[in-house]
Copies of this chain bind each other. A is one copy, B any other.
Amino acid sequence: MPKPKSPKAAEFGPEVRAVFADIKRTRNVAEVNNFWKYLARDPVLLARTWQGVKEVMAPGALDPLIKEMLYLAVSVTNGCGYCIASHTAAARKAGMTEAMFGELMAVVGMANETNRLANGYRVPIDAMFEA
């Protein structure tokens, strides 16, 4: 019953190596981070998850910095330690300054507070928001 382990590089099959190569090329990094190494235990999940993340985080109507900040806001709300560490780093790499981080955290904190005030006061949705 061992703890889940990242497989050793030597154990990776060709599908995993292909995904890792695409991650490195897309992100221009020398090494993939632990998240992908651990998912490599399940090459199908690894490939689908990477494909999804790659599509979702590509520039579009929102630029990558905004997308990374949204990712971080969700991760902070859920309290996922790994995700907070990795997406804080990714957001900084994409251009998040200290001031932006401070404002992001202030919004996330306030939203988590007012979400509960709305719950507890049982506020009905205004007709104008339902139209």
Query: What is the interface of chain A, defined by CB distance below 8 A to chain B?
Result: 1-4, 33-35, 38-39, 41-42, 44-45, 48-49, 52-53, 55-57, 60-62, 66-67, 69-89, 92-93, 97-100, 102-126, 128-131
| Contacting pair A62 B104 (CB below 8 A) | yes
Q: Determine the distance from Cα of A81 to Cα of B116 in the docked complex, in whole angstroms.
A: 11
CB-CB under 8 A from A104, the residues of chain B are: 62, 70, 120
CB-CB under 8 A from A111, the residues of chain B are: 70-71, 74-75, 78, 83, 87
A interface SS class: helix
Q: Determine the distance from Cα of A2 to Cα of B87 in the docked complex, in whole angstroms.
A: 12
Contacts A61-B103, A105-B42, A107-B71 hold; do A125 and B76 have CB atoms under 8 A apart? no
> Nearest 9 CB-CB pairs, A to B?
A42-B102, A61-B99, A74-B111, A113-B113, A80-B115, A85-B129, A76-B120, A109-B113, A38-B121
| Contacting pair B48 A89 (CB below 8 A) | no
Q: Determine the distance from Cα of A123 to Cα of B101 in the docked complex, in whole angstroms.
A: 15
CB-CB under 8 A from A118, the residues of chain B are: 35, 80, 82-83
| Contacting pair B74 A77 (CB below 8 A) | yes
Known: A74-B107, A79-B79. 11 other contacts (CB 8 A): A1-B129, A3-B122, A34-B124, A35-B117, A38-B121, A45-B106, A48-B52, A82-B123, A89-B128, A105-B120, A112-B113
